[in-house]
Each structure stands twice: as structure tokens, then as C-alpha cells.
Structure 1
């Protein structure tokens, strides 16, 4: 009996030793978290955050390399700073990292994540994106909406012409032009004249504040247990902006329904709102849309299609005013390809290679959304040999990657020529992992085809129609203000002088 007990104990001891060894080996095989600043207990790195998160993330990239972590309160964040690791996230493991880590403000603005930008990666998201791409961004839809783009660009040119010799606020002009275009694409001429101007003004006021609030640090995002108290009032403030947009949407939808009820059949191009309302009636369809989904999608299109595009136009004009040789070169190209006796048309755009290089260089130096929209893995994953736990907030730091001196020659200089030579194959498709101003993978910017056309068309028209100069004694302030959108701190004011040969071209 004693021998049996001894044998049993021996087996037990050996089993325990084996289990400990297996556990230790398993622990050794699990890659560690990425390196990063230590921060403070409970608070993490929050006390050390400055006003410009983009610049601070760049300093941390210099210190910790291509990937690092930091705790913001209870929230684990990982920042990706190299093309190779970026590829692992947006291409090799795209399906795992396709979810969003939406903050409280974003969830509120998107009607609870019922849009394209902040929705989880699921069948509803795929259906909404498919509808948007098919009805708004297909080649046939973009061609059908060309006259809308042309009309709005002509209005912008006429406005500038009427303000010859006066200061023009370039960003505000671009924003207004984009907003008018998008409203016309969404619901046609349902609100026009003075009322249309009123609605446009209301939109502008709300959209800029809404975008700024999306990027505001909120204690409830870092400590979810405190979210319900809304200590900083972020949720309440965002709800106020959403209610303002909601009133506009409800009014437009009601008018549109009334208009459709009086028509036997809508002739010509179908507005996007009509498509959505028809889908709303198909409740048993996989592509059906609720009123909440429609309004959330409108927020995406209005917000995403105005502020980012206007900001990019403003940065491009600022860089050109700072670089007279580049300004002269692009205007010579426009004179040659379009002619001073003609206005720019979209068919000219493919010929304007230097203008395209200017736009690409502008978006390299000043990406509209420099950290993209944060992603979140649906399961624990390995990136760059480090563990990224499930539900980590993952930032892709294209603001750093697109200025990385190991990738780009003279990375801080405005040199459009770099996109005519060694980087001529760079485009906005998300396949060059050192250049991703619109993102990449499943979550690439849904509005890319329209944004690319409108950016080129509006910028070409402004540069071809006018000479631009700064007010006497003034220089261009190139300092930026970080938010979810990277804006100039000081709005760009420039003075136009007509450049075309005939006054009637401005009529």
C-alpha cells in the first residue's frame, strides 16, 4: 500500500511539474504587447497628452519605432507607424481589423453606429455600402451627376469673379461648393433659393462643430464605467447637433415624399433619397433601409464629403501660394491643356498630370484624416511579432508614414515632382502602403471616386480661372490644428484676379 501511495504521489508530482512546464512554455510562446511609454497607474498616458496628438504620436514613433502601445485611462491603444505592419492590418488581417472602435461622440453622430463609417463589419454594413457605391459612385452615376458638379463649380467661379480684388476665404468657398453639390445629389432641388441657402448655412454651422467634437478627448471613452455620467457633456452636445441635422432631414424627407406622391413616375435621373425611400418600403429585402439608416447615411455623406474635401483644397492653395514656381508650372499646364479661352471641363482632368501631382503631394503632407478612423480587432492577433488584444483601439498613423525620412526624400518639403517620377504609380487606391490618404482595405473611404473627381475639378477651375496672391504684407501660416480632420489653424485668405481671356467665361 505504501508503495502504491508513493507511486501515486510520484505521478501526481510529475503531472504538476509537466503542467507547470506546459504553462510556462505556453506563456513564452505568447508574444508580448508592443513597447511604449509607461504612463501612470489608472491614468495611463492621459496626463501627458498635448494639444496636437499627431505631432506627439510622431515623437513617440521616433522613440519606439514601427509599433507601440499606450494606455489612455483603461483603454489600450496601439499605433502603427510602418508600411509593412500597416499591410498586416489592412490587407493580411483585414477581416479581423475591419471593425471600428467608435467613441461616444461617433456613436451619437451615427445614430448608434447605423452608418457606413462607424458600423461594425457585418451584413448590414455591406448592404449599405453596396447601395451607396451602386447609386452614387458607379461610373454611370458619376457621369449622370456631372452637370450638378459643373453647375456648382461655375457658381463658385462666378462668386470669386464678383469678388475680384477682395479677400476670398478659400476653405469656406470650397466647403459651400461641396455642400451644395452633395445636397443636390442627395435630394435634387427639393429646397432651393433663399430656403436652400438657409439649409446650407445651417448645415455648415453644424457640420464643422460636429467634426471638431468627434476628435475631442472624452473621459467617458477612456473609462467606460463613467460614460453614463457624460462628465464633459460631449454626448449631450453631440445630441444637440444631431437633432439639428435631424430636423433638416425630416423636413426634406417629408417634402420629398409629398413631391413623389404627386408624380406618376419620376422622369430622368433618380435622386439618392428616392432610391433609399423605395428600399425602405421593401421591409423583407436584404437591402431594406430604416429611416434611421437613411439619416445616418446622410450624416456620413454630408460630413465626409464636405469638410475633408474643403480642407484639402485649402491646403493645396496654401502650398501653391508658398511655392510660386509650382503655381506657375500648374497654371502653364492648364493654359496648354485647357486654353485661356475655355473653362475647365472634367474631360480635361486626365491630361493634368502636374495638377494631379500637386494634389497627391498635398495629401501626403496634409492628409485630411491623418490617423484614419481607428480600427479594432475582433479577436486577439499578432502584428509585427507583438500581441494586439481583442478590442484594442488601433491607430494607423499615415501622418507619420507619409513623412517618414526612410521612405521619402526631403519628406517635409512640398515637391509635387516626386509623383511624376519615382512615385508616379502612387494613387489613392490603397495598394501603396507608404501612401494611403484615403485608407485601404474594406474600410477604404467609400466616397473616394467622387472626392477624387471633385478635388481635381474644383482645384483646376480655381487655378485656371484666376491668378491668386496674398494680401499685402501677409504670409501663409502653415501651422495645423489636430482633430479627426487636420485643419489649418489660420483660414487661408487670398485675392483673385481674372485670368481667362473673355469675361463671358465667368458668366
Structure 2
């Protein structure tokens, strides 16, 4: 009996020891696997960080310049943390190509920044929409109907009329001996153009509707720019510290009322049989899609309202900033200014205003625009979000990591450009095939040069912006000499924030040299 008990006890001990050994081996294996998997993760280089704020102490108000400085120390693919949010920063053409071409599908989403929790259209955006059916539908709509070449050509007469109004306004300043804020003048030009292209049936000569739209968009953008702390410190996201959240919601609500009035007017005209297929604008086209019960994607009224708000935000300030930078560079360089004027006079003469159709015959004007966009891209930082774990240049980038593609750094990279910080339009005249370069530029396929972004989320309105820039700059050089108010040179200083706009208003005296209206 005792012997049998001893055998049973010994067997039990053996079993327990075996189970313990097996359990220990499993635990050790799991620890080894976990340790090895962690060891194989190789994140991009990163500067030393501080608790809570991360790398905020290394950033300045001139973010594009600051990121360029950091990238030169830590590499063209760099990881930084701002508060609770991790970003990877891309700063050269090789990495940009991998993200915007080779791994484009992984970086095909954008993220909403700023005070999106106060936006009554949250989740209805196109520019900020995640990659999916809605974004693909709107992209196709833009490419085939809204910003297609034939549609843009139909607005040629509108653009010519607005250019003439700008020239006459500047000539009036000259006659009265007054200085003008060229930035305000060009912003008014772009606002009127955008309003006429999108909602021409509501545009009146006194500009009341266009001005109302401009004031609403400016108010929303100015309030949105005040949400720095909420972006950095995640725990403050839902706390409206200074009441700006309430103000921005109220401003968007006023915009909503205005757009609803316009949309109802269009719908009333349609019900009264007043639609004219020969005079359709963008609102007509979008509302047609809204009414189409067979459309592959059903648009809501909030989708439409948010789309037009994004359109005004994206087109007015970016293109006007690019025109201002170009004029500042030209005014500071009389020899470049004169060379461009000589080219315009040799091709166009002194009997009429330069037109869009003249631009292909003005290679120096094209080179000047290219160089201005290289040094002063209207959107110096491009926002993306990684949607799946992937490797970029041997480094691991995790899903949901926010990505900043620094166009500013890429287009000033000394490995891609000689004398990258110098304004040298002639560098674009040495291309073996200027037409081929233009094609690559517009499609975002030359990854050294991405003024309009790249990949499948490149700027939909690039062709329109490009056309307006060339014609506006050509006319401003053709018709006027310029005297800087308070000095001989314009300060080439970048303002704060993401946009890369001029820090100091471009205030000059226009001196009429050629009046095409006499």
C-alpha cells in the first residue's frame, strides 16, 4: 500500500516538473520572440525628445525651414513626436519617390488637422478625406468634369475680364499716386475668379457675393490658425480654452446659411426651366451629381458645402501667395525683370495685354514661374497618413503614423539642385525637353520638383493655378514698373505656420508703363 502511494506521488512530481519545464520553455520562447520582434523594428532617426512635449522645443514658427534644418542633421527620413502624435518627415526626392510612387497606396490618406471637432462638416471633406470610395469618386469628378481642360477653357473670358479689372485698379492707384497692397489686389483677383468659376450665376459686378464669401473664408481660416495648443497637447483637444472653438463653429454656420441660399437659388432656377447647358458652372455640375439617383456615390448637401469651402481655402490664398513671391523676386532683381519684359514685348508687342495663349511662346516666363514655385511652394508641407505598416528605405513606419512631406526641403536639396537657395530661372531653360519637363511637373513625377504635390493625391486644380500664375505675372510685368514703399528691396521673409506666405505685406507703387486699354 505504501509502495503504491510512493509510486503515485513520484509520478505526480514528475508530471508537475514536466509541466513546469514545458511552461518555462514556452515563456522563454515567447520572451525571445517578443524581444526579437522588438529588436527588428527599426524606426527612422529621431532627435532627443522631452517628456510630454516630445520635440516641440526643437520647432519654430517657421516650420518648413525648421524641419529642413533638422533633416540635414538626422536624415531625409526622420521621426519626430509632438505631444502624443508621432510624425515622419520626408526631405529628399528619393524618399519622396518611394512614398508617393512605390508605396503610394500606403500613403494615400490624409488626416484632418486643426480644430476639426468644431467643424459642422466633419467627415464630409474631399481634400482631407481618407482614401476610399468617396475620395475616389470626387477625384474622378474633378478630373473629368470640374477641372477638365474643356471646362477650364470655357472660363477663359472670365479670367480675361478679371485680369483687366486688376490692371485698371492698379492704374488707378498709379494715377492717384497711391501705394497698393499687391497681396490684397491679387487675393481679390483669385477670389473673384474662383467665385465666377464655381458660382457665376450668383456673381454680380459690385462683387457683393464674392466679398461676402471672402470674408467668411478668411474668418474661418484665421480662427482655425489659433488652435496650436490643442494640436500639440492631446488632452486639451476637447477643451475650448479661449472660446475659439465656439467662434469657428459660428463662422462655419454663417457660411452654411450662405451656401444654402446659393444652392436653393440654383435649384429654383432649374425647377423654373432656366438651366442653360452652354453656361454651366461648377455648382451646376455638382448639383447635377447630387440629383443623379444613379450616381455611384450619393453626395450630401454637407459634402457639397464643405467641398466649396475647401476649394476657396485651397485656391485663393495659395495662388495669390505664389504670385506675390514671384513679383517680390522680380522687383528685387531688375535684370531678371527686364529680361522677362523684353521677351513679352518681342512676342506680344505693345498693342494688347498678354494672354494665356501666349504662354507657350514665353519660355523665360515659364522658367520664372517654375523657379518661384521651387523656392516658395504655396503648400510647403504635404500631409499624409500611413494606412498600413511598411518599410521605407529600410526603416519601419507603422500604420496611422502621420507623414509630413517637406516640399520646401526637397526643392532646396543641394543633392538635387545647384545653388539651391539662389533664384536662378535659367536653370529651367537648360532642360533638354521643356515640354517633357512640363508634363512631368504637372503630373508630379519629377520628385525633385513637386510644387503641386505628387502621387494620387496631388493638387486637382494645378492646371488652373498654373495658367492664372503665368498670365497674372506676365500682365504685371508688361504693364507696370514697381517702386517699393519705404525702401529699394522687398524683404524675402517667410511668415509663420504651414502656409509659407510672405511675412510682410507686398506694398508697392505701380507705375504705368503700358496701358492696353487706350
TM-score when scaled to structure 1? 0.92
**1:397: which partner in 2?**
406
What is aligned with 1:495? 509
Q: Is 1:416 aligned with 2:425?
A: yes
1:47-446 paired onto structure 2 within 5 Å: 47-106=57-116, 108=118, 111-164=121-174, 165-194=177-206, 197-283=207-293, 285-372=295-382, 374-421=383-430, 425=437, 427-446=441-460
The gaps in structure 1 that reach 5 residues or longer are none
Give the deviation of 1:430 after TM superposition: 1.0
Post-superposition offset of 1:290: 1.2
Shift in Å at residue 170 of structure 1? 1.4
**CA separation of 1:16 and 1:294: change in aligned 2, threshold 3 A:** closer
Query: In 2, are the aligned partners of 1:110 and 1:299 still within 8 Å (CA)?
Result: no
Structure 2 residue 69 is matched with structure 1 residue 28: no
**Secondary structure of 1:396 counterpart:** strand
* 1:19 positional shift: 4.1
Flag the structure with larger Rg: 2
Q: Deviations over 1:9-63 (max 9, x none)?
A: 6655555544444433333332x22222222212212344322222221221122
What is the deviation of 1:248?
2.3
**Greater Cα offset, 357-366 or 462-471:** 462-471
The 1-side partners of 2:115 and 2:315 are apart by 19
User: Contact 2:59 / 2:67 at 8 angstroms: preserved in 1?
Assistant: no
CA distance in 1, matches of 2:271, 2:336: 54
Structure 2 Cα separation of the partners of residues 159 and 139 of structure 1: 30
Cα displacement (A) at 1:420: 0.9
Deviation of 1:400 after TM superposition, in Å, equals 1.2
Report Cα offsets for 1:309-333 as digits up to 9, x if no partner. 0000000000000111110010011
Q: What is the Cα deviation at residue 439 of structure 1?
A: 0.5
- Higher mean alpha-carbon deviation, 37-46 vs 69-78, is at 37-46
How many residues of Structure 1 are paired with residues of Structure 2 in the alignment?
500
Partners in 2 of 1:93 and 1:477 — Cα distance? 40
Compared CA separation, residues 394 and 120, structure 1 to 2 (3 A): same
Q: Is contact 2:203–2:210 with CA below 8 Å preserved after alignment?
A: no
Q: Normalized against structure 2, the TM-score is what?
A: 0.90
Could you tell me whether the CA contact under 8 Å between 1:212 and 1:484 is conserved in 2?
A: no
Deviations 1:415-469 (A, max 9, x none): 1111111585362421111111110011101111111111111111221122223
Change in CA separation of 1:140 and 1:108 when aligned onto 2, cut-off 3 Å? farther
Cα deviation for residue 85 of structure 1 reads: 1.1
Structure 2 residue runs without a partner (length 5+) = 1-10
CA shift in 2, pair 1:301/1:6, >3 Å: closer
Change (3 A) 1:482 1:155: same
Q: Secondary structure at the match of 1:78?
A: strand
Q: Give the CA deviation at 1:279.
A: 2.0
Distance (Å, rounded) in 2 between the aligned partners of 1:56 and 1:213: 24
SS in 1 for 2:112: coil
* Paired residue secondary structure (1:488): coil
In structure 2, relative to structure 1, the CA distance for the partners of 1:66 and 1:212 (3 Å cut) is farther
Give the conservation status (yes or no) of the 8 Å contact 1:318–1:476. yes
Is the 2:120–2:253 Cα contact (8 Å) retained in structure 1? no
Shift of 1:222: 3.4
CA RMSD across the alignment: 2.3
